[in-house]
Structure formats: C-alpha cells, structure tokens
Chains A and B, each alone.
Chain A
Amino acid sequence: MGTVIRNYWWKILAGILLLYAVVGGFIIKISFEGMEVAAESMRNLFYHVGMWFGMLTMLITGFVYSLRYLRKFDELEDIKAVEAVNVGLMFGFLGIFTGMIWANFTWGSPWVKDPKLNGAAVGLLIYLAYAILRGSIDDTHKRAKVAAIYNVFAFFLWIVLVIILPRLAGESIHPAGGGNANTIMPMHLPPSMRLIFYPAMLGWILLGVWIYKLRVRLRRIKLTIDNK
C-alpha cells in the first residue's frame, strides 16, 4: 500500500482534483462583475484555460527534451520530445474547441478574427508541421536530429506568436494575460471561483503529464520489441 501511494499519489491527486473541478465548476454560483457578457458560460474558465496550461506545459517539456537530445543524442529523449508535442497538440485542439463553444455563446460566433485566436491556430500549424517533418524522414537518427532542431527553432517563434505579439496588438477581445481593457487575471476572480480555478489548472496539468508518461512507456515498449 505504501509503495502504491508513493508512486501513484500524483495520479490519485489528478483524479481527485479533476473530479472536484468538474463537480465544483458546475455547481458553484457564478458572480463576476465586468464579465456579465459571459454569464453562466464563465464556468468554461475551469476547462478552457486548463487546456491552455496543459498545452503550455507539454510544449515546454517537448522543447526541453529536444534540447537534451541535441546534447546527448539519446533516442529516449527524442521519444519524450515527440510525445510531449503530441499531447501538447491534443490539448491545443481541445483548447480551441472549448474556446469555440465559449465564443459562440459570448461573441455570437465560434471564431472571431482576433490576434490571440489566430495566434493559437497558427501555433497549432507550427506543431502539425513538426509531425509532417518527422514523417518525411525515414532514417531514425536523422529524423530525431532534424526534428529536434526544428522544435527548438519553432518553439522560440511560437512564443513570439502566442505570447508576445497578442499583447502588443492591444486590440484583442479575448480576455487573458493583459494587453487589453477587458483583461481578467486569476487573482481578480472572486474567492469562491479561485478555489475551483487553481486546483482545476493543477489537475489538467497533472492529467497531461499522466497521458504523456503512458505514451512514452508505450513507445519504449514498441522500441524494445522492434530492436529484438
């Protein structure tokens, strides 16, 4: 029992946090001044923003493992990088879908021409291109090396695109992270919502790490079988 808890505590924690976020997110009373336009759809905050943090965590992980690959040329680092990007892409798509549902309620259309939305979409294109690049190289070591180089190069431009440019554009209607009048930051949320928001974010990130670890293990098993 002791070892189970020692090894799996964070998975149990992820489950509890997400259960809490899903149940709590739907039953708490929403009261937030200045965001009347969002009304009850504010509950999406606990899910849509979680997708964003999940993606950010995974893409940073992928970037770090690509750098490590270029130092050691160990195939395992490449597997970790590619799976981190895959899980990051999954979160990215879910983030866009949850965002489209939300946008449909608050802005009247699933997609509006906005620097933050377009940045997120182009960001996904950058990482989809990463997948195509990997597919077009047959040799394993060459694929790992070229993909790592592209990932490091692309990550920098992705940061500029998704984090820096929308803040400078200043005309975004998407309320997050600054750069516009209707910004909301987590610390501006009413305490009751913050009590759900922070655990929910941690829960989604842990879930991402969990999926990522499973996928890496699957790849390692496949690699061992192939090498036999």
Chain B
Amino acid sequence: MLGNEIRHLIGKEIRLELKQKYVLNGILLYLVSTIFVTYLAFDRIIEPDTWNSLFWIILLFVAVNGISKSFIQESPARHLYYYTIASPQAVLLSKVIYNLLLMTILSVLSFVFFLLLMGNLVVNIPLFLTTLVLGSLGLASILTMVAAIASRASNNFSLMAILSFPIVLPLLGTLMKVSKSALSAAQWSGNYGFIIILLTINVAVIILAYLLFPYLWRD
C-alpha cells in the first residue's frame, strides 16, 4: 500500500520536473556557474584542503537551492488534494527518494565539473563516490524535512538557509573528513567509523522525519 503510493508520488514528482524543465535547468546552471566563478577566482588549486572545502560548500548551496522548492512548488490546494488521497508518510518518503535521486545526479555532475575545471586531486575515487552517495542521502533527508518546516513560515528562502546550515553541519563535517582522507590516501582504513556515523545520522534523520512529518502535514 505504502510502496504503491510512494511509487505513484515519485512518478508525479518526475513528471512535474520534466514538465517544468526550467527549474531543473536553473539548478544545473546555478551549479555550473558557481563552479566556473570558483575556477576564475582561484588560479589553480593545489591544496587538497581547499579543493575539498570548496567542493562541499558548493554542493551545500546547490542542495539548498535544489531542495527548497520541494514544498512550495505546488499550490496549497494541491497539497490538500494529496492529503486526502495519500498518507503523509508516503508523501515524505516520495519527496526524500526523489530528492535523493536529484542530489545524486547533482553531486556527480558537480564532481565531473570539478574534475574538468579544477583538476583531479582525489586519490581514492571509490571512497569519494561513497561519500557522495551518503552525502546525497543525508542532504536529501535533512533538507527535505527543513524545506517542509520552512514552507509553513513566511520569508521562506532565507529561513531555509538559516534553519538548514547549522543543522546540516554534523553531517557535512563528517562528510568533509571522509572525503579529505579520500583526497590524501588510497586506503580505506580509519574511515569505517565515520562511514558508520554517516549511516547512523542518515537512518536516524529519516526515522525522525517519518515520525514528525505527519504533524506538519496535517495543517
């Protein structure tokens, strides 16, 4: 039942996105131009630390921009309609899964552009890709919940930033640590602890969002 609802809602999200292509194209252009500005601002990045910090900061901004629309794109009347036909959990999980897909694509694209413009400093590419996937999941789940909270208030966009930046920091800090070691050494050892932390944060955030979202949805 829930699986069926989620499948239909994700299908709806994808169709909506393809129908309003300018939104998606806008985020892609945002990503490309931000990376290009960074490329022009720095002559050449040789320091792995700078590379790492810039990459994650850009990805954070792209994620906030991409996900903040989740609950304001459609009219309140249409939300009321979804409220009557689907369970709140299905709505939340479909948004999280859809945003996870979006974030995975955006983070891989950011990585590709970074490779093209800034040069490759990543030594351990499988480890780096693992952090990208875990980071996409974490950013998607935390930011979806924050977008839902911010959509209930006025002054939505700046609120999205001030609510999400500090909250996302435990995740982002851990991600940056793991990816920093992917930039400096080829081996995986010493990172399992952090990967477990990332998984724990992700699972706990999704469970919390799953429990809390129904209260937010019933307006």
Contact = CB atoms under 8 A, between A and B. Distances in A.
Contact of A145 (B193, B201, B215): B215
Interface stretch (A34-42, A125-133, A206-214): A125-133
A132 B169 CA distance: 19
B153 A133 contact: yes
Given A133-B153, A137-B152, A137-B153, A152 B163 contact: no
B170 interface: yes
B208 A132 contact: no
Contact of A146 (B153, B173, B204): B153
A70 B212 CA distance: 9
A129 B146 CA distance: 12
Contacts of A165: 170, 173-174, 197
Interface residues of B, number: 30
A227 interface: no
A149 interface: yes
B219 A142 contact: yes
Given A145-B216, A153-B145, A126 B153 contact: no
A161 interface: yes
A146 B162 contact: no
B155 interface: yes
Contacts, number: 74
A87 to B, nearest CB: 20
A62 to B, nearest CB: 16
A110 B142 CA distance: 33
B159 A149 contact: no
Given A142-B219, A146-B216, A152 B166 contact: no
Interface string B177-219: 0000000000000000110010001001100110010011001
A160 B152 contact: no
A148 to B, nearest CB: 8
Nearest to A70: B215
A70 B218 CA distance: 12
B176 to A, nearest CB: 12
Interface in A165-184: 165, 168
Contacts of A152: 208, 212
A136 B169 contact: no
A122 B171 CA distance: 13
A133 B150 CA distance: 8
A150 interface: yes
Contacts of A22: none
Contacts of B219: 142
B102 interface: no
B167 interface: yes
A157 interface: yes
Interface of A: 70, 122-123, 125-126, 129, 132-133, 136-138, 142, 145-146, 148-150, 152-154, 156-157, 160-161, 164-165, 168
Given A132-B162, A136-B159, A160-B170, 9 more contacts: A125-B165, A126-B166, A133-B159, A137-B152, A146-B152, A150-B149, A150-B163, A152-B208, A156-B208
